[in-house]
Amino acid sequence: MSQLPRACGVDFGTSNSTVGWLRPGVPALILLEDGRQTLPSAVFFNADENSVSFGRAAMAEYLEGYEGRLMRALKSLLGTSLIDGHTEVLGRPLGFRELLANFIAELKRRAEREAGRGFEMAVFGRPVHFIDDDPVADRRAQDTLEAIARQVGFREVSFQFEPIGAALHYESSLSREELVLIADIGGGTADFSIVRLSPERMRHDDRRADVLGNAGIHIGGTDFDRMLSLECVMPLFGYRTRMRNGAEVPSSIYFQLAAWHTINFAYTRQVWADLQHLYRDATAREALDRLCHLVSQREGHWLALQVEQAKVELSAERATRMTLDRIADGLVLDVTREAFAAATQGLVERVGACVAGLLQDVDVARARIDTIYFTGGASGVPQLRDRIAAELPDTRVVEGDLYGSIGTGLAVEAARRYG
């Protein structure tokens, strides 16, 4: 054991997280929950049991009906003004920095327990841009994550771009040199790198010359959830309906309910008072009845899970049926892939423009790029994958381990940097 690498790679993701540790002849990713390599980035504060749970267990407890607070998409807080705020949990204020520290400390504990040793050094993955077009906020996001990592016990912390981590994983499978567009689309960001890879280059410690360019945009799977929710689901709850005076029903509560990290904001007394005022002057009373039930019973996270599942199903099938009987008896919603594509067209085009800009900026002919390597859970969304591939229509497409490529590559990087 003493001869094995002393450092780990940590992929703290918006939706799922992994920890990698390089060992010969053994998969790099450490088992974190119920024999699985991923730990969903979720925390549930159980008021009935006065306890805290993480990952799948957190979501299971919430769905079983325990009273408490479910928090997901924690990474989305980095670089925003929310990170210095707090929320009320189990009757006391909990800072969002403390919330992130709780989750990352649990990630570290589980990895160390499974590995049978402590990890004091880590390479964390980071998106190309935590925050788009704001270098100060972007740097602040990385500094915040580093401070939290040190707070929970990592003595040495460094970072690598997440698509580079995925590239290092893909490189281990190659028998010849390739020029590769790494497309890493996770829960919160879409990141792209053009990298020269080969079995020979894999032995080099300094790979900076092999990275020909990178770009990223703050769009990921949770944004696709949000737009699917707003355009296809929230009309059932009165979104874009009218008041008696002809004005549109205010949209703020629908936007809160459509994003994981803002759902709890819809449960304040002020929002409930505003909702009662709106109800009196609304024309779509049945839809507003559903909204009132959703808010009063705090079913926002449950609905968000149904939307997320619908996204996954629409990535594989042409249509899906959402059963929403927790909102109203017999309530169902049929959603087609065409509707999903229409709802997310703006997101898809922005990601496509990001890829086009990267290909224009690098000094490489498009015909020379051998492979597009897709990783990250949201890279399975068909309309998004098709839009990216359209920029390189003659290029081979390879699908990596959608949830494990980055963590595995970061484990390789951790072994190189720290031994």
Q: How many structural domains compose the chain?
A: 1
- CB distance 327 to 299 below 8 Å: yes
The answer to whether position 34 is within a domain reads yes
Q: What is the pTM of this model?
A: 0.84
Q: What's the CA gap between 218 and 370, in Å, rounded?
A: 26
Closest by Cα among 142, 200, 138 to 12: 142
Handedness of CA 39, 317, 302, 235 (dihedral sign): positive
The answer to whether position 48 is within a domain reads yes
Which H or E run includes 331? none
Residue 262 burial by Cβ neighbours in a 10 Å radius (0-12, 13-18, 19+): middle
- CB distance 126 to 159 below 8 Å: yes
- CB distance 13 to 71 below 8 Å: no
Q: In what order do the strands lie in the sheet with 156-161?
A: 39-40, 16-20, 7-11, 121-126, 156-161
The answer to whether position 170 is within a domain reads yes
**Which residue did the predictor score with more confidence, 57 or 81?**
57
pLDDT value, residue 261: 81
Closest by Cα among 57, 155, 161, 159 to 103: 57
- E strands within 127-248? 156-161, 178-185, 190-197, 211-217
Closest by Cα among 263, 222, 258 to 237: 258
Closest by Cα among 196, 203, 169 to 370: 196
The answer to whether position 70 is within a domain reads yes
The model's pLDDT over 118-166, given as tens digits with 9 standing for 90+, comes to 999 999 999 988 888 889 999 999 999 999 999 999 999 999 999 889 9
The answer to whether position 228 is within a domain reads no
Residue 386: CA atoms inside 13 Å, Cβ hemisphere, count? 6
181 three-class SS? strand
Share of the chain above pLDDT 70, in %: 99
pLDDT value, residue 3: 62
pLDDT value, residue 207: 77
The model's pLDDT over 237-265, given as tens digits with 9 standing for 90+, comes to 999 999 999 999 999 999 999 998 889 88
Residue 47 burial by Cβ neighbours in a 10 Å radius (0-12, 13-18, 19+): middle
The answer to whether position 302 is within a domain reads no
**Which residue did the predictor score with more confidence, 66 or 357?**
357
- Output the CA–CA distances (angstroms, integers) from residue 122 to 11, 19, 54, 159, in the order listed: 10, 9, 21, 8
The answer to whether position 349 is within a domain reads no
CATH number for the domain that contains residue 15: 3.30.420.40
Q: Which amino acid is at 42?
A: A
The answer to whether position 29 is within a domain reads yes
Phi–psi pair at 111, nearest 5 degrees: -65, -45
Give me the domain span that covers residue 39.
Answer: 7-176+401-418
- CB distance 272 to 296 below 8 Å: yes
For residue 76, pLDDT over 80 is answered with yes
The model's pLDDT over 267-310, given as tens digits with 9 standing for 90+, comes to 999 999 999 999 999 999 999 999 999 999 999 999 999 999 99
The tokens 């980095």 sit on which residue? 78
